[in-house]
Amino acid sequence: MVEPIIQIDKLDKSFGPLKVLDGLSFDVMPGEKLALIGPSGSGKTTILRILMTLETITAGHIKVCGEQLYHMQRSGHEVPADEPHLHKMRSHIGMVFQHFNLFPHKCVLDNITLAPMLTKGEVRAKAEQRAMELLEMVGLADKAKAMPAQLSGGQKQRVAIARALALKPRIMLFDEVTSALDPELVEEVLLVMKRLAAETDMTMLLVTHEMGFAHEFADRVLFFDKGRIVEQGSPDKIFRHPSHERTQSFLRKII
């Protein structure tokens, strides 16, 4: 039997008194394309950040690629893991952020080669060859020597996708990757993601307000409200026949 690549079990996350994730449990199968939708503040981004080990957890368990993301204490609680373990766990996962987060003083090629050279010890020639293949894939081979400031938002985001892919992650997380873009630049980024989804067997989690795209892209849609999954199912089920009142009213407002 195939094991889930991500297993989230009774996850709680609080920021001070604010409970953001509330007993959240779900699994993701290898290769699955998941869309996380729901109102602002429902905890979607926090889940991605926890998977990327950018946030700690308050309670619960998470396994990625069969291993605990955090260390377990005898008491059964999880505690932040040591750096070597986090480093290994992070190598399974790539993340693309809303605001690109490119290194502003490095050219496009260096933005992509930096992590493979520093964290995986790849030699420059090999890292650059792979970076050029990735730039080809996102349609930006001619921008290899450009600086981020010379690119449009859509181009920056395509570089950010290539950069995340350079580490060959098994899981890709996309956090509202088009919401900082001018409307006419959204399509070029979605096209790259569609191609990626169709051509690779990577597991992908997408937080988005682009419901049309979520419908096309996802195998499964999770609707969140107040740190819990209210409803989940195929895109057709969630977008055409949502059964929960909260899902219905959210979709009425957004579509």
Nearest alpha carbon to residue 157 among 179, 129, 172: 179
Contact 244, 231 (CB under 8 A): yes
Nearest alpha carbon to residue 214 among 180, 157, 254, 169: 254
Q: Is the dihedral of CA 103, 137, 179, 242 positive or negative?
A: negative
Residue number, 91 or 98, with CB nearest to ligand ADP: 98
Task: Find the part of the chain contacting ligand ADP (CB under 6 A) among 33-41, 139-147, 162-170, 178-186.
Answer: 33-41
Among 40, 83, 183, 198, contact with ligand ADP (rule: CB under 6 A): 40
Residue that the structure tokens 């790849």 belong to: 122
Contact 58, 45 (CB under 8 A): no
Q: Find the shortest distance in angstroms from Cβ 17 to ligand ADP.
A: 10
Residue number, 41 or 233, with CB nearest to ligand ADP: 41
44 binds ligand ADP (CB under 6 A): yes
Among 43, 116, 154, 235, contact with ligand ADP (rule: CB under 6 A): 43
Edge-to-edge strand list for the sheet holding 33-37:
93-96, 171-175, 203-207, 33-37, 220-225, 228-233
Q: With CB under 6 A as the rule, give the number of residues binding ligand ADP.
A: 12
41 binds ligand ADP (CB under 6 A): yes
Task: Find the part of the chain contacting ligand ADP (CB under 6 A) among 39-47, 56-64, 122-130, 230-238.
Answer: 39-47
Residue 28 Cα to chain centre, angstroms: 13
Near ligand ADP in 189-208, by CB under 6 A = 207
103 binds ligand ADP (CB under 6 A): no
Where on the chain is the footprint of ligand ADP (CB under 6 A)? 15, 18, 20, 38, 40-46, 207
